């Protein structure tokens, strides 16, 4: 039996809106993934520590407050500093298209904006975790 994909879903910073993160957590679970939702107001250090403790395959970051250009790259940097080079890092939320390239250059594997079909997100994770 194949190992379940384990995903950490996290809300970095002071963003208090987590409806989307909770919805995606449920969708990931229904797709057969093991989900750890960290809750609101997580620091990059807290997110990385959870990924380390949980032996995560994926970290999914959600931002609706405009702090993605700081927090997303910081999480990637700290993951790599801990030797978690094979953890897939994806992000979503209210992120302007012009920020996508910079986030990908900073190590994000994918960014998913509002209206992205959830099947596209699940498929991306399943294909890219298996490819590692």
State the CATH number of the domain containing residue 91.
3.40.50.280
Residue the block writes with tokens 């449920």: 26
pLDDT, one tens digit per residue, over 70-85 is 999 999 999 999 999 9
**What range defines the domain where residue 37 resides?**
6-130
* pLDDT at 119 > cutoff 90: yes
Total tally of structural domains belonging to the chain:
1
The C-alpha atoms of residue 45 and residue 32 are separated, in whole angstroms, by 27
The C-alpha atoms of residue 120 and residue 17 are separated, in whole angstroms, by 22
Give residues with Cβ within 8 angstroms of 68, minimum separation 6: 61, 91, 93, 95, 99, 103
pTM: 0.95
Residue 1 resides in a domain: no
């Amino acid at each position: 039996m194949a190992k379940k994909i384990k995903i950490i879903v996290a809300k970095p910073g002071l963003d208090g809106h987590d409806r989307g993160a909770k919805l995606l957590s449920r969708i990931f679970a229904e797709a057969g993934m093991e989900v750890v939702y960290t809750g609101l107001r997580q620091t990059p250090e807290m997110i990385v520590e959870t990924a380390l403790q949980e032996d995560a395959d994926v970290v999914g970051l959600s931002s609706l407050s405009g702090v993605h250009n700081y927090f997303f790259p910081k999480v990637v940097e700290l993951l790599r500093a801990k030797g978690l080079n094979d953890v897939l890092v994806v992000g979503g939320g209210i992120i302007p298209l012009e920020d996508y390239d910079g986030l990908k250059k900073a190590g994000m594997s994918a960014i998913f904006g509002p209206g992205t079909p959830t099947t596209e997100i699940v498929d991306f994770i399943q294909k890219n975790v298996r490819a590692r």
